[in-house]
Amino acid sequence: YNNKQMIVFGGRKSNWLSTNDIHRLDLETLKWEILTPSADSPSLPPCPRTDHGAVIIQDTSNTFFHSQNPQLLIFGGYNDGYV
């Protein structure tokens, strides 16, 4: 990832159900793209979430999140009414 895009995770659809959709906004072209996890991903996608905080971590020098791939860290929020 670079500094010219924004990743958005989760939210609510018009029927008020939580989603686990992932969208990317290219900040140069202002075009949106829906992202999907790769089929060979070692982890499951996060559960649907709203009212949360999320950040992408790609610092491989951090011992807690040591990985060659960017990691999505989600904190708090609700899962269709449950914390």
SS3 of 37, please?
coil
Share in percent of the chain as helix, strand, coil (round to 5): 0, 45, 55
Strands 31-35 and 71-75: unpaired
Q: Which of 74, 81, 77 is nearest to 55 (CA)?
A: 74
Q: Along the 83 residues of the chain, how does pLDDT read in single tens digits?
A: 456 888 888 888 888 888 888 888 888 899 999 988 777 766 677 788 888 887 777 665 655 555 566 677 777 777 766 65
- Residue 1 pLDDT: 47
- Residue 53 pLDDT: 81
